[in-house]
Amino acid sequence: MAADSTTPEVTGLTLRSLLTGCALVVLISLGAPHSIWTFGSTEITWSFFPAGVGFLFLCLVLVNTLLKQHRPAWALNSAELMTVLAMSLVIIGIPVFLTGYFLAIPTTPYYFASAENQWGEFVIPHLPAWLLPSNEGLAMTWFFEGLPPGEPTPWATLFDAWAMPLFWWLSFIFTLFFVCFCIVVILRKQWVERERLAYPLMEVPQTLVTDATEGLPPILRNKVFWIGAAIPLFIVFWNIIGYFFHFFPTIEWNYPIQTLRGFPPINIRLYFPVIGFMYFANLNVSFSIWFFFLLTLIEEGLFNRFGLGVTDADKFVWGLPSTSWQCWGAFVTLVLWGLWVARDHIKDVFRKAWNTDLPIDDSREMMSYRASVVGLVIGTVYMLVWLNKVGMEWWVASSFLAFVLIAYLGITRLVIQTGIYYLTTPVVSQAMTMMSFGTSAISAPGLAALGLCYSFFGDVQSIFMTSAAHAAKLQSSLRIARRGFALAIGLAVVLSFAVSLTNLISMAYEQGASNFNSWIFRVSSGAGVMAFGDVMAKIKTPADFHAQKLGFFGIGAAAMSVLTFMQYRFPWWPLHPVGLAVSAIWMIRNQAVAIFISWAAKSLIMRFGGIELYRKAAPFFIGLIVGYFLGVGISFIVDVVFFPGNGHAIMHG
């Protein structure tokens, strides 16, 4: 599948691929919020290769196969298909996890403030007005409650309320995306060519676009593939019968098992994409993930039984505080060690940016090294200035932004190396900044600004950097012309924001955002209430740095350092450090059993059949993934047609 250095570049951005990619971007951007907030169905953009993208891409491949047979001139080639896929992947975090939060949080203060909660005294005076939509003309009241019946949409009032905040928010978010893109370009060669990371999530699309003389990809003519696909499809079709007949027994996707008193339960979940994707990860990686998960489970149980550890939870951190901070220490150490290993390459990139005559080749990157380095520097400076103008002191802004980028880098590195399907950060950057320096050392405007920044860095999922890294891998492997490819990514991001914002704001004024089937818009306990309630508490009762949390952070960092040393020093060492870096993340609890199943299956296959049997079995695991994508897509269509508002979520949460 991969192209060598002598392979000529091919153009991926054509009029037909651009139109197809834009169509998929619009469908995903419109469908994602409706799927969970209106239809009550499966969240189609959750994960780093979500079902919404997988289902639409599979449909595109099948349609393209028919075109190859009947209208060959209309069919997309491999480069065009990968361009369409990249456009779909880079926008997965926009419709729900980004647009949703940065509309839910800044809209809350003016609407929710009251004499009882004292926000008007402790919070609102420290928030920049240019980032908060005004409630003049009841614009925010109608946003949460919906327009009165028969009331025409007051477009002039809404424009005045939304125009300036959206401009400044988007200026920061677009800059953050661009900086992430520059980092991916800088590190792509290190990850792909020097460290040879696995990129397990890209196995499916690269297999599906393999050229076939008959038109149909060879994988779709493989019986082993269809055996794998039949398993999730059978469960979905069986359960769809139960949608219509409530007396019909259903097959559950989740089987929680309670262990000892005080110990967290073990969730046995039928996560078929996790089983499939982890098959393509290294065995020591998958073994270490479930091993450290069990170790952390025991640790948390002991903490609960004996009343040990940290009890003060951080906002937007869903795991046990003690092990979350321990995991965060390992996570940060993993990122810093990865940068240290890449130091020679990074030096070469910066030297190339200064002197373009140096021999290091950047012709296969999505952007030149000079443009990437300059973009990284200018973008970082702009974000620091923006954060300072919002209210953060320079040192607070620097710390916060540094840990934001560390979190993005860590998630990206872990996903492309291990194939973990869902992943977030163990601790958010706001908590790290506040606990390291103490809330007493940060001004009230700085604390308010940190709370406001939960709008884009709170529930950190389906991030752009990871999708951009996958896109860079596809682009370099197929030698797709970089300029058109990068332009396609940029167009997809802009289009998705335009569609998502227009759609979500329209939905809110039509239905009332507080009526969405989503906790983040709840007026009593939503994301905005959580963020600014925490801000008010920290302004009213400032505290020094949190020695206990930082102690667990240090324990995780030290353990990670020892594991890293053992891995690099002793080839026989069985535990990979990445397992510790994700051990306490709540998403791993839902995936650990599936990861164990994948590890056990691959171990047996390699032990008794070697590499030959591994290759023969690979279509079965790809079938598990594709069958799940098909099943979710079909279930979603059934929900839209027959059960709008009362849908059926598959493998959600």
* H-type alpha helices, 307-393: 321-341, 343-354, 369-390
Is residue 6 very low, low, confident or very high in pLDDT (cuts 50, 70, 90)?
low
Of 589, 602, 559, 653, the closest CA to residue 293 belongs to 589
pLDDT above 70 (res 403): yes
What pTM, to 2 d.p., does this model score?
0.94
Comparing 210 with 120, the larger pLDDT belongs to: 120
Cα torsion angle, 533, 110, 527, 388, sign: negative
DSSP character for 201?
A: G
Q: Which two tokens stand for residue 421?
A: 């399907």
Rounded to an integer, what is the distance from CA 537 to the centroid of its chain?
29
CA 436/CA 210 separation, integer angstroms? 50
pLDDT above 70 (res 2): no
- The percentage of residues in the chain with a pLDDT greater than 70, rounded to a whole number, is 98
In what helix (H) or strand (E) does residue 269 lie, and over which residues does it extend? strand 266-269
| 542: amino acid identity, one letter | P
pLDDT (average), residues 528-542: 90
Using DSSP's 3-state secondary structure scheme, residue 254 falls into strand
- The neighbouring-strand residues paired with 255 are 268
**Residue pLDDT, tens place only, 596-606:** 999 999 999 99
Q: Which two tokens stand for residue 260?
A: 């000892």
Least confident of 275-279, 340-344, 539-543: 539-543
pLDDT above 60 (res 212): no
> For residue 282, what are the CA distances in angstroms to 300, 397, 418, 572?
27, 38, 7, 14
Of 195, 489, 229, 232, the closest CA to residue 342 belongs to 195
pLDDT above 80 (res 19): yes
Contact of 639 with 41, CB cutoff 8 Å: yes
In what helix (H) or strand (E) does residue 268 lie, and over which residues does it extend? strand 266-269
pLDDT above 70 (res 610): yes
Is residue 213 very low, low, confident or very high in pLDDT (cuts 50, 70, 90)?
low
CA 637/CA 259 separation, integer angstroms? 38
**Residue pLDDT, tens place only, 64-74:** 988 888 888 88
pLDDT above 90 (res 341): yes
pLDDT (average), residues 233-247: 92
In the prediction, which pLDDT does 434 show? 94
Is residue 435 very low, low, confident or very high in pLDDT (cuts 50, 70, 90)?
very high
Secondary structure, 3-state, 167-194: HHHHHHHHHHHHHHHHHHHHHHHHHHHH
In what helix (H) or strand (E) does residue 255 lie, and over which residues does it extend? strand 254-257
In the prediction, which pLDDT does 29 show? 95
Residue pointed to by tokens 């047996």: 604
Of 414, 492, 543, the closest CA to residue 92 belongs to 492
pLDDT (average), residues 454-476: 91
> Cα torsion for 275, 280, 281, 287, to the nearest 10°?
50
Q: Which two tokens stand for residue 311?
A: 């009890």
Contact of 470 with 202, CB cutoff 8 Å: yes
Contact of 581 with 477, CB cutoff 8 Å: no
pLDDT above 50 (res 1): no
- The neighbouring-strand residues paired with 269 are 254
Contact of 622 with 219, CB cutoff 8 Å: yes
DSSP string, 128-167: -GGGS---GGGHHHHHHH-PPTTPPP-HHHHHHHHHHHHH
In the prediction, which pLDDT does 487 show? 93
CA 233/CA 42 separation, integer angstroms? 15
pLDDT (average), residues 618-642: 94
Count of alpha carbons within 13 Å of 651, Cβ hemisphere only? 29
Average pLDDT, the chain: 90
Residue 40, classified by CB atoms within 10 Å of its CB into exposed (0-12), middle (13-18) or buried (19+), is middle
| Strands 266-269 and 254-257, bridge-based pairing | antiparallel
Long-range CB contacts (< 8 A, 24+ apart) of 133-137?
133/106, 133/107, 133/161, 133/162, 133/165, 134/110, 134/160, 134/161, 135/110, 135/111, 135/161, 136/160, 136/161, 137/161
pLDDT (average), residues 159-175: 93
Q: Which two tokens stand for residue 533?
A: 């309630």
